[in-house]
Chain A
Amino acid sequence: MELYSDIYYVQRIQEGDISCFACLIDRYSQQVHTLIARVVTSREDAEELTQDVFMKVYRHLSSFQGKSSFSTWLYRIAYNAAISEARKKKQEFLAIDETQIENVSEEEIESRLGHTDHSEQIALLEKALTQLSPDDRFIILLFYMESKSIEEVSAITGLTESNVKTKLHRIRKRLYALLMKEKEKQL
């Protein structure tokens, strides 16, 4: 049953076979939860929000017409839920000086962090991620963790493709600066 496509399950659910929803939960709950947890930062909120996302998906499944892929549609719902929750909580994130962002290059960060062990790199990235705005965090996670293409990120976030490209470039630069800052703190 796991081999069937998302559309197959969606059609079965639309025809009234609710049990097929379990297959969609199995397929996407972990990824959606990871994404949301990294945006809202509270574990309890993330779990509740993941439930809300799947409930919303079920409620609106009858209006899903397949214009985009099911996963894009699901991620769009998750994006809206996570961002509005993060805005409600008014999370604080670090404002970085623009000149500082421009001065850090990928080569520099690679030479600085390339020699540190993986667990330290991950810890630095996790810290840096918490200092990005929720929107930026979601976009970069979609792109790198979920391996979504520019077109898919654009469809999920509602931004234009050129806007996504520009944003990704800025977020990467910002992350480099934050990683450098975190690394310097350690020294």
Chain B
Amino acid sequence: MNRYEEKDFLGNIFRQLPGESLPEDFRMHMMWKIEAEAARIRKRNERLGLLAVIFASLAIITLAVFAIIYLEIPKITISVSALSSLPFYFYIGGLVLLLLGGDYIMRKRYRQKHKENL
């Protein structure tokens, strides 16, 4: 309650002024608009987030390319000696694959045999 209101003649008339009524569906209509606005803000934030990720990724890729090509960090060199032992690496790799294949076939047969026994 403010200073004038109690004894003020104007205050007495103001207190009797009728309020302007809102339509009954105002709350529902307003909440519908608010929900639509919330969805819009959510979508905008998602889009902004995605844009930020894309921008950051592009920046990192650009930086990496720049560093590798122009600054030569890290220094990548392929020596000729490393290339000469390439057939040996293929031989070892083939051997590993052969053993893995053998293991797979043997396990399959073992399982089938046990199923028949059961």
Contacts and interface: CB of A to CB of B under 8 A. Distances in A.
Given A30-B19, A150-B2, A25 B9 contact: no
Interface residues of A, number: 44
Among B15, B18, B26, B37, chain A packs the most CB atoms within 10 A around the CB of B26
Interface of B: 1-5, 8-11, 13-23, 26-27, 29-31, 33-35, 37-38, 41
A118 interface: yes
A48 B33 CA distance: 12
Contacts of A50: 22, 26
Contact of A126 (B15, B17, B26): B17
Contacts of A149: 2
Nearest to B41: A59
Contacts of A118: 13, 16
Interface stretch (A72-80, A92-100, A139-147): A139-147
A51 B4 CA distance: 32
A155 interface: no
A43 to B, nearest CB: 7
Given A51-B30, A109-B9, A34 B20 contact: yes
A172 interface: yes
Among B8, B14, B37, chain A packs the most CB atoms within 10 A around the CB of B14
A144 B11 contact: yes
Contact of A43 (B18, B20, B31): B20
A109 B10 CA distance: 9
Contacts of A114: 9
Contacts, number: 93
Contacts of B20: 33-34, 37-38, 43, 46
Q: What secondary structure prevails in chain A residues at the interface with B?
A: helix
Given A34-B19, A147-B1, A149-B2, A18 B13 contact: no
Nearest to A59: B37
Nearest to B29: A51
Contacts of A150: 2-3
Q: What secondary structure prevails in chain B residues at the interface with A?
A: helix
A29 B27 contact: yes
Contacts of B1: 147
Contact of B31 (A21, A148, A176): A21
A157 interface: no
A122 B30 contact: no
Contact of A122 (B16, B23, B26, B35): B16
Contacts of A21: 31, 34
Contacts of B27: 22, 25-26, 29
A164 to B, nearest CB: 11
